[in-house]
Amino acid sequence: MANISLFMFLLFIAITLGITYWASKRSAGSSAYFAASRQIKGWQNGIAVAGDYMSAASFLGIAGIIAFQGYDGFLFSVGWLVAYLTVLLVIAEPLRNAGKYTMADVLAYRLKPRPVRAMAALSTLTVSTFYMIAQMVGAGALVKLLLGGYVNYNQAVTGVGILMIVYVVFGGMLATTWVQIVKAVLLMAGTILLSILVMAHFGFSFGQFFAAIGHVTYHDAKGATVVKDFLQPGLRYKPPYGPLDLISLGLALIFGTAGLPHILVRFYTVPDAKTARNSVVWAMVLIGSFYIMTTFLGFGAATIVGPDFIKTHGGTNMSAPLLAQALAGNIFFAFISAIAFATILAVVAGLTISATTSFSHDFWTNVIHNGVERKPGEEVLVARISAFGVGAVAITIAIVLGPTANVAFLVALAFAVAASANLPVIVLSIFWRRFNTAGAVSGLGVGLLASIGLILISPSLMAIDPPTVVGTARHLIQAKAWFPLENPGILSIPLGFIGAIVGTLLSNEPTSQQKFNELLVRSNTGLGSEKAGAH
Amino acid sequence: MAEDSRRAGTPPEERYQASQSTWDKIAESQNFKDLMATKRSFIVPAFIFFVVYYFALPVLVGYAPQFMATRVGWVNLAYLFALSQFFVAWLIAGLYVRAANNFDRLAKDIVEKAVVAKADSSQGGK
C-alpha cells in the first residue's frame, strides 16, 4: 500500500517540478514573478483561487468533523462558500483596479505608505505563518501515516518545506498558480469519485443514505454503545456557548476570507477587474460544489467506515482516505492520500508567495527603501531570498511542535486576524473619506492583538488536560479558559473596526481626505489600473 | 515587463496619472455619481440580504435546534436550510455578474472621457 502511495506522491511532485521548470523561464521581472504577468485567464484563476482555499483543513478536516459530529461539521462547509460573496461584492474588483501586488498597495494610495505598509506586512506575515504551520504539521502527520516505512515526520516536514521553496523561488506566481490548478482539478476529481462511490454503496438511493445517517452507531469514551442521528444539529456546538461560537466562526469566515493575503494576491494575476470578478464566480462554482459534496465524504465516512474504526486508524483527519479504502481498496486510498498531500503542498506554496511578496514589495522596497528599487530585479531577488527564510521558519516550528501538536486553532487564528485586522482597514480605506494613517495603523494593530490575545485565553490554548496527554498535545496554559469561545471573531472584529475608527477620529490628516477621490475613481472605474504584460 | 523591474516602487509610466483637480472633477461628475449610485443600489441590498440569510442559519440551528430537527422528507429543516445557502449564494453571484455588466458600461464611459481629456490637454500644452 505504501508503495502505491509513494508512487503517486512522486508522480505529483514530478509534475509540479515540471511546471516549475516551465514557469521559471517566464518569471523575469516583478510583474511576471509576483503576478504571473497578469495574464492568467478568469477560469484559470478561479480554479487556482479554489485550490488556494480548499486546504487540507477543508478536505481532511471537514470530512473528519462531519464523520464524528455530523451536521454541525457541515455548517463549516456553508460558511466557507458564502464568504466568497464578500470577496465578490466588496473586495476583488476595487483591489484589482487600484492595487499592484499586495493589499497594502490599496492602503498606500491615500495613507502614509511607510507605517501602513509596515503594519500590513506584519499582519500578512502573521496570517501566512500561522496558516502555514497548521498545514505543515498536518502534512507531516499525514505523510508519516501513509509512508510510515519510508519517511518519518521530520523528513516529511522538511520535504514539504523544500518543495514549496523550490516552487516559489524558481517558478514564482506562475508556477504557484499552475500547481494550484493541477491540485484543484485532482481534488475535485477525487471528491466527485468518492461521492459517486458513496452513493453506489447505498444503491444510489438518497432515502437509504439519509436513513443510515439517522442511525450512526459508535462507542463513547466509556465504551457504551451510542446510536445518534447525525443529521441533528448540536453534536458539536452545545449550550451554553456553542451557538455563540458558531456565530463567531461565521463572522470570521464571512469577513476573514476577504482579508486572507494568499487569496487577495490572486486577483492581481488577471488582466482586469472584470476578469477578477469572473474568476471569483468560477471559484464559487467549484468551492460550492466541493463543499456540498462534503455531505457524501463526511456522512459517508460516518456510516460506511464508522467513528470507531476511524478513531483507531489514524483519527478524524483520516476519515476521507479511510472511506476511499473501504469503498475501492488500497489504490483508491493511495490516490486520495496523494490528493491530500498535493492539497497541502499547493496551499503552502500559495501562502509562501503571498508572504514573500508582502515582505519584499511592502517591507523591503517600500518601507526600508522608500519605494525605490535600487537596482533592477532587487525586489524579485529579495522575494526569492525571503522564501528561503519563510520556509526555514515554517520547517523549524513544525518540527519543534511535532506531529501531535494541537494546531487546529491556528487556522481559526489566521481567519480571525484576516477578519479583524486586514478587512476593516481595506474596507474603510475604500469607502470612508475621513479614514487616515493613524486609523489604519491602530486598526491593524488592535485587530491583530485582539485576535491573538483572545485565542491565547480561549479553550484552544487554555484548558486542564488529564496527565495522559503529553508534550505539545497539551494545552499551553493549564487553567480554565477565560474566554469561552474558540473563535474570537465576534469580539475581535468589532474591536478591529473600533480601533480603526477611533484612531482616525483622534488624528487629522487632510491629504488622506483629499486623495480619497483618486482612490475612489481608480477603484471603481479601473482608470489607470495595472495592465497585463507580455510573457 | 522591463519598466516594471526598473521602478518597482513607483507606478510605471503607462499608468494613468492626473492632478488632484482632475480626480476631483471626475469624482464629482454626473457620470461617476451615476456609476456609484448604480453600484450601491445593487451591492448594499445584496450584501445585507446574504448576511442576514447566512446568519439566520447559525442562529436558528444554535438556538432552536429542536425546531430545525423537524423532518422534511429524507432530511430535516436544518440540512435543507444549510443546503439552500449554497444555491442562494450562487444566485446572488449570478445576479451580481448581470448587474455588473451595467457598471462596466458606465465605468468605460468615464475612463474613455478621462483618457481623451488628458490627450487633449497635453497636446494643447505644447
Kindly report the number of other CB atoms within 10 A of residue B98's CB atom: 10
The pLDDT of residue A407 is 73
Q: Interior CA angle at A535 toward A529 and B4, to 5°? A: 50
Distance, in Å, from the CA atom of A424 to the CA atom of A256, rounded to the nearest integer, reads 10
CB A60 within 8 A of CB A67: no
Distance, in Å, from the CA atom of A4 to the CA atom of A11, rounded to the nearest integer, reads 10
CB A122 within 8 A of CB A445: no
The pLDDT of residue A17 is 93
Domains within chain A, CATH numbers bracketed: 2-525 (1.20.1730.10)
Q: What is the mean pLDDT of chain A?
A: 89
Kindly report the number of other CB atoms within 10 A of residue A506's CB atom: 11
pLDDT tier at A405 (50, 70, 90 boundaries)? confident
Instruction: Specify the range with the lowest mean pLDDT, choosing from A66-75, A85-94, A516-525, B109-118.
Output: B109-118
Contact between B5 and A377 using a beta-carbon 8 Å cutoff: yes
Mean pLDDT value of segment A148-156: 82
- The size of the A-B interface in CB pairs under 8 A is 193
Distance, in Å, from the CA atom of B16 to the CA atom of B122, rounded to the nearest integer, reads 13
Instruction: Please tell me which of the candidates A82, A233, A292 has its beta carbon nearest to residue B54.
Output: A82
The pLDDT of residue A2 is 65
Instruction: Specify the range with the lowest mean pLDDT, choosing from A179-183, A283-287, A402-406.
Output: A402-406
Kindly report the number of other CB atoms within 10 A of residue A273's CB atom: 25
pLDDT tens per residue across span B70-81: 999 999 999 999
The pLDDT of residue A237 is 85
Q: Is A374 on the interface with B (CB under 8 A)?
A: no
The pLDDT of residue A247 is 93
How do A216-219 and A225-228 pair as beta strands?
Answer: antiparallel
Distance, in Å, from the CA atom of A20 to the CA atom of A25, rounded to the nearest integer, reads 9
Distance, in Å, from the CA atom of A374 to the CA atom of A159, rounded to the nearest integer, reads 35
pLDDT tier at A166 (50, 70, 90 boundaries)? very high
pLDDT tier at A424 (50, 70, 90 boundaries)? very high
Distance, in Å, from the CA atom of A396 to the CA atom of A158, rounded to the nearest integer, reads 9
Instruction: Please tell me which of the candidates A77, A82, A242 has its beta carbon nearest to residue B62.
Output: A242
CB A180 within 8 A of CB A16: no
pLDDT tier at A341 (50, 70, 90 boundaries)? confident
CB B42 within 8 A of CB B99: yes
Distance, in Å, from the CA atom of A45 to the CA atom of A178, rounded to the nearest integer, reads 9
pLDDT tens per residue across span A263-300: 999 999 999 999 999 999 999 999 999 999 999 999 99
pLDDT above 70 for A482? yes
3-class DSSP state for residue A403?
coil
Rounded percentage of chain A residues whose pLDDT exceeds 70 = 99
> Hey, which residues 264-283 in chain A have their CB within 8 Å of chain B?
274, 277-278, 280-281
pLDDT tier at A490 (50, 70, 90 boundaries)? very high
The pLDDT of residue B87 is 97
Mean pLDDT value of segment A101-126: 90
CB A138 within 8 A of CB A55: no
Distance, in Å, from the CA atom of A97 to the CA atom of B111, rounded to the nearest integer, reads 12
| CA distance from start to end of chain A | 43
Contact between B6 and A376 using a beta-carbon 8 Å cutoff: yes
Kindly report the number of other CB atoms within 10 A of residue B55's CB atom: 16
What residue spans define the domains of chain B?
31-124
Bridge partners of A227, per DSSP, are: A217
- From chain A, the residues in CB contact with B27 under 8 A are 517, 520-521
Tracing cell 449564494 back to the chain, one arrives at: B89
Q: Which residue has the higher pLDDT, B39 or A137?
A: B39
Residue type, A435: F
Q: What length is written for chain B? A: 126
pLDDT tens per residue across span A2-47: 678 788 888 999 999 999 999 988 888 888 888 988 989 999 999 9
Q: Which residue has the higher pLDDT, B10 or B96?
A: B96
Q: Which three cell numbers stand for residue A502?
A: 477611533
The DSSP letter of residue A241 is T
Q: Which three cell numbers stand for residue A98?
A: 487600484
Q: What is the 3-state secondary structure (H, E, C) of A446-466?
A: HHHHHHHHHHHCCCCCECCCC
Mean pLDDT value of segment B8-31: 75
Q: Which three cell numbers stand for residue B64?
A: 432552536
Distance, in Å, from the CA atom of A196 to the CA atom of A191, rounded to the nearest integer, reads 9
Is the preceding omega at residue A94 within 30 degrees of 0, hence cis?
A: no
3-class DSSP state for residue A219?
strand
CB A222 within 8 A of CB A384: no
Mean pLDDT value of segment A376-399: 90
The pLDDT of residue A496 is 96
pLDDT tens per residue across span A229-238: 999 988 888 8
The pLDDT of residue B20 is 86
CB A317 within 8 A of CB A65: no
Q: What is the mean pLDDT of chain B?
A: 85
Contact between B90 and A78 using a beta-carbon 8 Å cutoff: no
pLDDT above 70 for A534? no
Mean pLDDT value of segment A187-212: 94
- For residue A378, how many C-alpha atoms fall within 13 Å in the half-sphere facing its CB? 17
| Numbers of helices and strands, H then E, in chain A | 24, 2
Q: Is A380 on the interface with B (CB under 8 A)?
A: yes
Q: Is A172 on the interface with B (CB under 8 A)?
A: no
Contact between B32 and A521 using a beta-carbon 8 Å cutoff: yes
Top residue of B1, B3, B53, B113 to mutate, by most chain A CBs within 10 Å, is B1
The pLDDT of residue B125 is 46
Q: Is A449 on the interface with B (CB under 8 A)?
A: no
Distance, in Å, from the CA atom of B74 to the CA atom of B67, rounded to the nearest integer, reads 16
The pLDDT of residue B3 is 38
In A402-530, which ranges are continuous DSSP H helix? 408-417, 423-431, 437-456, 489-505, 510-514, 516-525
Contact between A525 and B92 using a beta-carbon 8 Å cutoff: no
The DSSP letter of residue A228 is E
* Whole-complex ipTM: 0.92
